[in-house]
Structure 1
Amino acid sequence: MSLPPRLFDRSLLAHRLDRAAGGFTQAHFLRERAVEDLIETLSAINRQFDVALDMAARDGAFGRAIAGTPVADKIDMLIEGELSERLSAQQSGSARLVMDEEALPFGDDSLNLVVNALGLHTVNDLPGVLVQVRRALKPDGLFIGSLFGGETLTELRACLMEAELEVRGGYGPRIAPFAESPDLIDLLKRTGFSMPVVDSDRVSVSYEHPLRLMADLRLMGESNILLKRPRKGLNRAILEKASALYFGRHADAEGRITATFEIITLSGWKAHDSQQKPLRPGSAKMRLADALGVKEGKL
Structure 2
Amino acid sequence: MNDKSLVFDRAQLRRQRRRAAAGFAAHDFLYRELAWRLLDRLADIRQGFPLAVDLSPRPGMLEAIRRGIDPRLGGIEAMVGGAEGAAGLRLACDEEALPFRAGSLDLVLSCMGLHWVNDLPGALVQIRDALRPDGLFLAVLLGGETLTELRQCLMEAELAEASGASPRVSPMVGLRDAAGLLQRASFALPVADAETLTVTYPDAMALMRDLRGMGEGNALVARARRPLGRRVLARASALYAARFAGSDGRIAATFQAIFMTGWSPAANQQQPARRGSGEVSLTEFFAKKR
For 1:224, the equivalent position in structure 2 comes to 218
Q: Which of 257, 263, 267 pairs up with 1:263?
A: 257
For 1:288, the equivalent position in structure 2 comes to 281
CA deviations over 1:117-148 (Å, ceiling 9, x no partner): 01000000000000000000000000001111
Distance 1:289 1:242, change over 3 A: closer
For 2:60, the equivalent position in structure 1 comes to 60
Q: Kindly indicate whether the alpha-carbon contact (under 8 Å) linking 1:4 and 1:124 is maintained by their aligned counterparts in 2.
A: no
For 1:248, the equivalent position in structure 2 comes to 242
Task: Please report how far the alpha carbon of residue 17 of structure 1 lies from its aligned counterpart in structure 2 after TM superposition.
Answer: 0.9
Distance 1:210 1:296, change over 3 A: closer
Distance 1:120 1:229, change over 3 A: same
For 2:182, the equivalent position in structure 1 comes to 188
For 2:27, the equivalent position in structure 1 comes to 27
Q: Which sections of structure 1, spanning at least 5 residues, go unmatched?
A: none
Q: Which of 112, 115, 124 pairs up with 2:109?
A: 115
CA deviations over 1:68-113 (Å, ceiling 9, x no partner): 434635101100012xx4xx2xx42x31111111111101000000
Q: Which of 223, 227, 231 pairs up with 1:233?
A: 227
User: Structure 1: how far apart are the matches of 2:185 and 2:89?
Assistant: 28
Q: Which of 125, 129, 132 pairs up with 2:123?
A: 129
Task: Please report how far the alpha carbon of residue 188 of structure 1 lies from its aligned counterpart in structure 2 after TM superposition.
Answer: 0.4
For 1:203, the equivalent position in structure 2 comes to 197
For 1:158, the equivalent position in structure 2 comes to 152
TM-score by length of 2: 0.94
For 1:13, the equivalent position in structure 2 comes to 13
Amino acid in structure 1 at the alignment position of 2:50: D
Task: Please report how far the alpha carbon of residue 254 of structure 1 lies from its aligned counterpart in structure 2 after TM superposition.
Answer: 1.3
Distance 1:243 1:296, change over 3 A: closer
Secondary structure in 2 matching 1:265: strand
Distance 1:226 1:3, change over 3 A: closer
Amino acid in structure 2 at the alignment position of 1:24: F
CA deviations over 1:1-29 (Å, ceiling 9, x no partner): 97892111111111111111122211111
Secondary structure in 2 matching 1:98: coil
Matched, 1:80 2:81: yes
User: Structure 2: how far apart are the matches of 1:295 and 1:59?
Assistant: 56
Q: How many residues end up aligned between the 2 structures?
A: 289
CA deviations over 1:22-63 (Å, ceiling 9, x no partner): 222111111112111211111110101011000124151101
Secondary structure in 2 matching 1:13: helix
Q: Percent identity?
A: 44
Secondary structure in 1 matching 2:91: strand
User: Structure 2: how far apart are the matches of 1:212 and 1:57?
Assistant: 23
User: Structure 1: how far apart are the matches of 2:111 and 2:261?
Assistant: 12
Amino acid in structure 2 at the alignment position of 1:190: R
User: Structure 1: how far apart are the matches of 2:112 and 2:18?
Assistant: 16
User: Structure 1: how far apart are the matches of 2:204 and 2:221?
Assistant: 24
User: Structure 1: how far apart are the matches of 2:208 and 2:270?
Assistant: 46
User: Structure 2: how far apart are the matches of 1:159 and 1:14?
Assistant: 27
Secondary structure in 2 matching 1:276: coil
Secondary structure in 2 matching 1:62: helix
Secondary structure in 2 matching 1:253: coil
User: Structure 1: how far apart are the matches of 2:78 and 2:150?
Assistant: 41
For 1:276, the equivalent position in structure 2 comes to 270
For 2:132, the equivalent position in structure 1 comes to 138
Distance 1:261 1:295, change over 3 A: closer
